[in-house]
Amino acid sequence: MFHALTNDKVDTGDYRFTHQLQDIETLNHRALKGELELTAVSLHGYSFMTDKYALCACGCSMGDGYGPMVVTPKPMKIEDLAGKTIAIPGTLTTAFLALRLCLKSKGLDAAPAEEVGAPAGLAGETTVRFVIRPFDEILNLVEKGEVDAGLIIHEGQLTYQNQGLHLVVDLGVWWMEETGLPLPLGGNAIRKDLGRKAMDEVTALLKKSIEYALAHRKEALDYAMKYGRDLDVAKSDKFVGMYVNDWTLDFGPRGREAVALLLKKGYEAGIIPNPVELEFIG
């Protein structure tokens, strides 16, 4: 998405972009503090920062019948996760919101998530326990048996079977079955104190960058692969196609409906503290 902005493929006029590559949960926490003018965010994370940021209408990552997954060392059903410990990539990720909604629909409770290094707590019979771990370590932790299950995002969705792991639930599939809508995962947020003119102009530049990437797929993919983990060209192309596509150009009416419904359900379940009023730019 950002290849064209990073590598001067589009004219940015008076604007200059400084790129900082970080994992999504780090970006969520930085955005909570208002540190970044334009940033990728989890849509779950966005629900806590609507006072500071609006959503760009372009740049979304949508799981259209697929999404984050829960995997385990041996086959099990969602109900079997009762009393188990799941490694998650962060409490503000949309993957975690979707997982909690899914578990709640099966009558399971969620214990508070514990930070890296926290001592193991006790989980009740219907309680699922969570520990926060870096997203790119979770598959290995599950494979080693250090946790009972892992919530995986990013490339692990295509590679977990290489480590002998088993799929418990694909949250994008579960959400589609529940709602008939795609699962909106991430977006780009722009800080409101820039003023409406700058918000509109910067969002338009972001859209140009995405359009350039889709029109120059191989070139943009070669750039993106520098940051990929353990994926060959074919898998990289498949993964990018899952999350950078027509949805990325604009959420569209159905995408906006999906975001509103997800965050509404999060609020009704007591996971998100306040109702979310969405504001889209572009």
pLDDT at 120: 46
Sorted by sequence, the CB contacts under 8 Å of residue 262 that are 6+ apart come out as 43, 94, 97, 98, 175, 183, 184
Parse the chain into domains and list their residue ranges: 3-62+183-281, 69-179
Residues with Cβ < 8 Å from 187, sequence gap 6 or more?
40, 41, 43, 46, 55, 56, 59, 60, 61, 251, 259
18 neighbors 224 (Cβ within 8 angstroms):
no
Q: Would residue 3 show up in a list of annotated catalytic residues for this protein? A: no
**pLDDT for 67-77, tens place per residue?**
999 999 999 99
Query: What superfamily would CATH give domain 69-179?
Result: Periplasmic binding protein-like II (3.40.190.10)
Decide if 89 contacts 153 (C-beta within 8 A).
Answer: yes
Tokens 């009416």 map to which residue? 253
CATH number of 3-62+183-281: 3.30.70.20, 3.30.70.1150, 3.40.190.10, 3.30.590.10? 3.40.190.10
| Model pLDDT for residues 45-96, shown as the tens digit of each residue | 999 999 999 999 999 999 999 999 999 999 999 999 999 999 999 999 999 9
CB-based contacts of 175, cutoff 8 Å, min separation 6: 63, 67, 98, 102, 181, 182, 183, 262
Structure pTM?
A: 0.92
Q: What is the pLDDT of residue 154?
A: 84
The letter for the amino acid at 35 is E
Contact 186, 94 (CB under 8 A): yes
Q: Would the CATH topology of 3-62+183-281 be identical to that of 69-179? A: yes
Q: What is the pLDDT of residue 51?
A: 95
Among residues 19, 44, 154, 166, the one annotated as catalytic is: 154
Spans of the chain below 50 pLDDT: 116-123
Phi-psi region for residue 133, left (φ > 0), alpha (ψ -120 to 50) or beta? beta
183-191/53-56 β-pairing: antiparallel
Strands 280-281 and 53-56 come out as: parallel
Determine the pLDDT at residue 115.
54
